[in-house]
Structure 1
Amino acid sequence: MAGRGRGTEEGGETTAGVSERLMFAHAEPQEAPPIQLPQPRAPAEHLPDGHGAVLPVSPTAGGGRIRKQLGSVSLPALRRSVAVAASTEIDRGVGFLLVPVFLAAGVIYYFSLSTEPDLYRPLAAVALMAVCAAVSRSWQKTHLVFMASLFCALGFLSAKVETWRMATPMLGSEIQTRLTGRLVTAEAMANGRVRLTIDLMSTEHPTLRYAPDRVRLSARRIPSGMTAGSMLTGYAKLLPPTGPVRPDSYDFSFDSYFSGIGGSGFFLGDPKLLAPASTAPTGAPFGARIASAVENAREGIADHIRSSIGGSEGEIAAALIVGVRAGIPEAINESMRRTGIYHIISISGLHMALVAGTIMFLLRGAFALFPDFSSRRPVKKYAAAIALASIAAYLVISGIVVAAERSFIMLAVMLVAVLFDRAALTMRNLAISAIAVILVSPHEVVGPSFQMS
């Protein structure tokens, strides 16, 4: 039985084969899709003579589109959106992060004044803003405004208090006199001279009526055995602290004032040793004796580093470890300034972080060798406490310079957070550190060191 052919219908009848060419020979051709022609360009604005290009003129020239969009904005809706966003940020704690900003604003305003204000004015402003902030607690917006004003007034007051507390007597004009004083620091410079910081005790020939309390002088050489705490005398030329090199540039006398340096200059001859530190009169304050002992320890460490390493490398190592930078050759200083790495020889956050991180890493590794002890004790807190004590000792050995002091405060806040089971690296801890630095040393706000850190 044969199957059905291609021309067989279901009823059994067979039809003749049909050619597909004949079937579609008379089919009507399909209409092609219309061609999309390019839209005509907008009128062009010719540039002035000499330019061959043309610029299309926008149909919304003159800011019509912007005006249309602004016209569709509802001011009540915009106010509600801003209020909701501000409330959300305040609930997240952003308000606390702005506290150092307002404190710094008050400090900057104080140092921008051309005349010195009285102390009672910032005190009255702080008291008034505190009362207004307490009364306006029921009105959130008003309360926030008064709180911001209160912190600005506190920043202003802290700067005023620091200026009043320092009260550094500054030399008014250059003069030559014989001075007697107590040596605070002695730093060997790269040019062979020695830079001395001296607490003045008396002057004669002539006697200065308004003598500075502390001066910084250079000498060609000093007698052997002259260390911090020694009594010395010599004939010197005193100069007022250097001001700005050009208008509106950095004022070096500003830093001298808050460093307690009332004058600078040089000895006209070699200073003479009156009494070494071991036999000096005991009338020095207790703090001065402690500072002399620390300074002698610093110099001892620096001398050991120089003798062990030698050359300019030893001077750089001494600067990195104990902060004694006077012996670095000027050519190396200039090279580091030109390459932008001069800040690495100033003990600051990098050095403090390296010390704290190294101590914590070594201690955590040592504790890990005793798993039974580590599993039952908060070894992380132990490591943080020892690291905190280590950077405190490093701060003292480095001379308690301002940059190191600021870095110590920031790291101390983070390590204390670890001791209390809080996150160490948070914006809140950064704000706490900034608040502490501003309240302790308000004048640092206007300095480049604080702004860069």
Structure 2
Amino acid sequence: MGKGRASTVVPIAGEVEGDSRPSSRLRKWGTEARLSSAADGIEAFLADRGFERMPWLAVAMLTGIGLWFILPGPGEWLIAIGLCGVMAGLSLVRLEGDRHALLRNAATGLALMLAAGIVLVWARSTLIGAQPISGPRVAVVEAIVLEREEQPARERVRLIVATRDPLDQIPIRARLNVPAEMDDPALVAGSKFRAKIRLTPPQRAAVPGGYDFAQSAWFDGLAASGSVLEPPIVTGLAGGASGWRSELAAHVRQQVGQYGGAASAAIAATLITGDRGAIPEADAQAMRDSGLAHMLSISGLHVGAIVAIAWLLVVRVGALFPWLALRVRLPLAAAGSGALAGIGYTLMTGAALPTVRACLAALLVVAALSLGRQALSLRLIALAAMTVMLFWPEAVIGPSFQLSFAAVTAIVAFHNSRLVEWLKEQRGEGQLARWAHAGLLLFLTGLIVEAALSPLVLFHFQRSSLYGSLANVVAIPLMTAVTLPALTAGLVFDLLGVGAPLWWLSAKSLDLTLGIAHTTSSLPGSVLQLPQVSLVAALACVAGAFWLALWSGRFRLWGLLPLSIGVSALFLARPADLLIEQSGRNAAMLSDDGELYLLRTSTSFAADAMVEAMGKTPKDGEPFSEFPEWPGARCNGDFCQLQAQGRTLLVAQRPVDVPYGPLVAACARADIVISSRRLPADCRPSMLKADGSLLSRRGGLAVDLESGSYRAVRPEGDSHGW
């Protein structure tokens, strides 16, 4: 062919004219184009949405901490941290420039905060985790009292002591129960004593989903718990740091008790010193069933009320003196007074962790007010939560943290909603109309808070009040406007000997609060009780609630989808067919007609935990049935054989020696064998051998008889310190 002759190039498959690049590059370009288009869409969405960034960062940090507890060990923790790093790195590399700035910042920030949550709780667990003692101990030891808690309602005193492990002779902190008849008033903080005690490692949850004292003890620095077996002998005193709190609690109980009931006096002492040990169990249960239990735990309500009282007192009194108001910035003076009052109240009530968290949050609110900022906002709540998680990341999985921050988040989100704006527009000008509007808002706020807290309450306690919003409409204003001011003023005026009228007012207001609690809790259907709620259902409810609270406009309604799934799962929850307590000495099972049977009906923490997990309530004076009463049960005093859902259970009623041959033969005929002792290897039931060996490694079990599966307190491969 000549130079002037045009040549025709026929495109091959996957190429176009003028482009010799392979088809794979075009497919890659197409993928990149789609990713870029998706990134553009997300960027536009974020730009159009007026949302707070800090709350989402707090949620990511909270999620990271939660993941550390869910994932089994260091390998999985490192993988999660690495994935977060990869996400952050890809966001920085692939989303350069200003075109996708919001998306880049969001992806990077969320990934880094999630990783920070994992690292924070891992570091804290490593630094402060207390290794539990290796086994039970009975010995005479010398100890120093670190804390003393009066518990007259339980006829005992609880001590936190520093001593040595009788076996390994290493320093440990332990929690001891001292029966009232063995107590010595000289056992105050700083005192030294010698006594014969029994120590055991902190107990894991009795059944899956139950309260795990071992986990709490790990982060509290407690290596053991136990009781005093003989009256302690005080050998020295190094000070009485907590004696004044005990004396103050006794003084408050005496003063209020002159004008009100014993329960009112006990609650008054709780509000002033944080000492809950004198509250009768019947009254405490009534407070729980009426939705007023939050008043018995010194938290945001109490600290906020004290701070508000100090703030208003300084502002109102200062405004009465023009020369003072012109020379002193009253908001700053009020902020300082409120901060000092909050800190003082926190110290006076024992500076328990929930109170310290509430105090930190109140101080942030005071700081915002002194700077002329909005007192409560989602950003401020997120900042408070992140501050708490920075110092106490383990608090995230506890009900105190969850309920307090869920309540205040629900309140702020609700009052920022269009419904509240519309209600404000409808408010009349008259005094009566204003009071009616305030009452309606308070009632609606109570409903929102109850709805927000109910999934968490059911997850942790299996019981929730249905009329709590009605009780709180009266009880919260009564507590904040009457009870707390009267109690604090009573202490002040007692210095002048004229505090009697204030103690009378305190007693009557607390009597009224208790009356509201008992009336509400006794109403038909006042308490919703469910069996153990799954973690997945609770997380679905939390995810939906966060979505509703943190977005605005119609887009927030998408949160109703996971919320509805979670709520449905709550009400569809069914109890385990069989629960086996961690020691193997007790078990619980439901019959076809819903009647609960226990291996042993003796009162114990494990038995109570199983009853709650089954969604049952103990009947006054009517104990639950025992396994030998199970329809068709065959028992000989040593073992019981039961039939349930086509399964054969062989249950050891007591740990006795049984001849090897008959035991192996009985195991072969059974699907499940339960024993507190270790059974021989030749004992091979077809489904599950829940003997001392398995239970000591995995803890209590929840068994599904139909599928043959089970859940354990300690998942397989779990390597958390406790």
Q: TM-score, length-normalised on structure 2?
A: 0.47
* Distance in 1 separating the partners of 2:87 and 2:138: 50
Q: Does 1:154 align with 2:116?
A: yes
Q: Residue 148 of structure 2 is aligned with which of 165, 183, 186?
A: 186
Say what the alpha-carbon RMSD is for the aligned residues.
2.9
1:169/1:210 contact within 8 Å kept = no
The alpha carbon displacement at 1:105 in A equals: 0.9
Provide the residue aligned with 1:331 in structure 2.
282
How far apart, CA to CA, are the structure 2 residues paired with 1:382 and 1:193?
44
The answer as to 2:220 corresponding to 1:273 is no
Q: Give the one of 198, 202, 206 matched to 2:161.
A: 198
Deviations 1:211-252 (A, max 9, x none): 633333323332343321100110011122222132123322
Q: Which residue of 1 aligns with 2:62?
A: 104
Q: For residue 343 of structure 1, what is the amino acid of its counterpart?
A: H
Match of 1:345 in 2: 296
Of 164, 174, 181 in structure 2, the residue corresponding to residue 214 of structure 1 is: 174
Q: Which structure 2 residues correspond to residues 256-405 of structure 1 after superposition, within 5 A? A: 256-278=217-239, 293=241, 295-310=242-257, 311-405=262-356
* Distance in structure 1 (CA, Å) of the matches to 2:302 and 2:185: 33
Paired letter, 2:245? R
Match of 2:365 in 1: 414
1:108 & 1:191 partners in 2: Cα distance? Answer: 34
Name the residue aligned to 2:205.
244
Secondary structure in 2 matching 1:199:
strand
- Tell me if structure 2 keeps the 8 A contact 1:352–1:408: yes
Q: Deviations over 1:251-283 (max 9, x none)?
A: 2221222222222111111111010234xxxxx
Shift of 1:384: 1.0
Q: 1:229 to 1:122 in 2, by over 3 A?
A: farther
* 1:181/1:232 contact within 8 Å kept: yes
Instruction: Tell me if structure 1 keeps the 8 A contact 2:172–2:223.
Output: yes
Taking the aligned partners of 1:177 and 1:427, their CA distance within structure 2 comes to: 53
> Which residue is 1:144 aligned to?
106
Alpha carbons of 1:98 and 1:276: their partners in 2 closer, same or farther (altered >3 Å)?
same
Give the Å deviation of 1:77.
Answer: 9.7
Task: Letter of the 1:277 partner, please give it.
Answer: A
CA distance in 2, matches of 1:340, 1:173: 40
Determine the C-alpha separation between the residues in 2 that align with 1:78 and 1:148: 19
- In structure 2, how many angstroms separate the alpha carbons of the residues matched to 1:131 and 1:378? 48
Distance 1:123 1:81 in 2: 28
The one-letter amino acid paired with 2:196 is: Y
Q: Deviations over 1:12-54 (max 9, x none)?
A: xxxxxxxxxxxxxxxxxxxxxxxxxxxxxxxxxxxxxxxxxxx
Within 5 Å, which residues of 2 pair with 1:29-68?
none
**By how many angstroms is 1:297 displaced?**
2.8
Structure 2, unaligned runs of 5 or more? 1-34, 405-722
Work out whether residues 132 and 201 of structure 2, in 8 Å CA contact, stay in contact via their aligned partners in 1: yes
Q: Give me the whole-angstrom Cα distance separating, in 2, the residues matched to 1:419 and 1:448.
A: 31
Contact 1:185 1:228 in 2 (8 A): yes
Q: Distance in 1 between matches of 2:334 and 2:169?
A: 54
With 237-246 and 341-350 compared, the bigger mean Cα shift is at 237-246
In structure 2, the CA distance between the partners of 1:251 and 1:224, relative to structure 1 (3 Å rule), is closer
Q: Which residue of 2 aligns with 1:424?
A: 375
Specify whether residues 76 and 122 from structure 1 end up closer, same or farther in structure 2 by C-alpha distance, changes over 3 A only. closer
Change (3 A) 1:121 1:385: farther
The whole-number CA distance in structure 2 between the counterparts of 1:76 and 1:362 is: 58
Give the structure 1 partner of residue 184 of structure 2: 223
Aligned residue for 1:326, secondary structure, equals: coil
For structure 1, which segment, 239-248 or 342-351, has the greater mean C-alpha deviation from structure 2 after superposition? 239-248
**Ranges in structure 1 where 5+ consecutive residues have no aligned partner:** 1-74, 279-291
Change (3 A) 1:132 1:372: farther
Identify if the C-alpha distance between structure 1 residues 116 and 236 changes in structure 2 by more than 3 Å, giving closer, same or farther.
farther
Aligned residues with identical type, % of pairs? 25
Instruction: Give distance in 2, aligned partners of 1:117 and 1:303.
Output: 52
Contact in 1 for aligned 2:81/2:118 (Cα 8 Å): no
Specify the code of the residue in structure 2 equivalent to 1:303: A
| CA distance, structure 2, for counterparts of residue 447 and residue 376 of structure 1 | 46
Secondary structure, in 3 states, of the residue corresponding to 1:340?
A: coil
8 Å contact from structure 1 (residues 171, 211) kept in 2: no
Q: Is the CA contact (8 Å cut-off) linking 2:158 and 2:175 kept in structure 1? A: no
Q: Within 2, Cα distance between the matches of 1:436 and 1:369?
A: 37
Match in the other structure for 1:176: 138
